[in-house]
């Protein structure tokens, strides 16, 4: 109608708040810090902290109301350096894991998560001894188990809230 007085105004109802929705595929990046208290780490660092970059991909095919279950794969390269008996040292670690992950939505922007993932660790250590013409190097591989829990908060999104682009 051209005249507003011809009709009665009825506002659109508010949309109910939706719970956080974990989409089937996800990619994550962040910082991972390990506290290494074993004395064998001391020549490679002045502290007990080993920082690494973490890249992960998730696939969550199972959705049950506020709970999602899926798989997660992660790769974390990290490095540290120090001094042992006056010689420069360096340590490089590759960690790769594949495991299961569960998430529980507490609201539209907050969820709790837990992950259990067996992992393989490949470690390379180097000591630069100026008394010889080449560095001393050693490589080793071992396994580990990553059991992680935490909370996440969605800070921002791009696109339509019902179908975000990012």
* End-to-end Cα spacing for the chain: 40
The pTM of this model reads 0.67
- State the pLDDT at residue 17: 55
The CA distance from 154 to 18, in Å, is 13
The rounded percent of the chain whose pLDDT value lies above 70 is 82
Q: Which whole number is the average pLDDT over 95-113?
A: 91
Backbone angles phi, psi at 86, to 5 degrees: 85, -5
Look at the alpha carbons of 11, 13, 17, 18 in this order and tell me if their dihedral is positive or negative.
Answer: negative
Residues 6+ apart with CB under 8 A from 114: 101, 102, 148, 149
């Amino acid at each position: 109608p051209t005249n507003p007085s011809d009709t009665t105004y009825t506002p659109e109802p508010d949309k109910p708040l939706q719970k956080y929705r974990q989409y089937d595929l996800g990619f994550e990046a962040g910082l991972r810090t390990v506290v290494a208290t074993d004395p064998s780490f001391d020549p490679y660092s002045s502290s007990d902290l080993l920082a690494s970059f973490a890249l992960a991909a998730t696939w969550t095919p199972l959705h049950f109301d506020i709970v999602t279950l899926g798989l997660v794969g992660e790769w974390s390269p990290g490095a540290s350096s120090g001094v042992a008996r006056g010689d420069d040292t360096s340590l490089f670690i590759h960690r790769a894991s594949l495991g299961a992950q569960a998430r529980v939505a507490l609201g539209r922007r907050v969820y709790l998560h837990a992950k259990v993932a067996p992992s393989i660790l490949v470690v390379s250590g180097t000591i630069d001894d100026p008394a010889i013409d080449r560095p001393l190097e050693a490589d080793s591989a071992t396994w580990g188990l990553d059991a992680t829990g935490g909370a996440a908060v969605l800070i921002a999104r791009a696109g339509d809230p019902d179908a975000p682009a990012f």
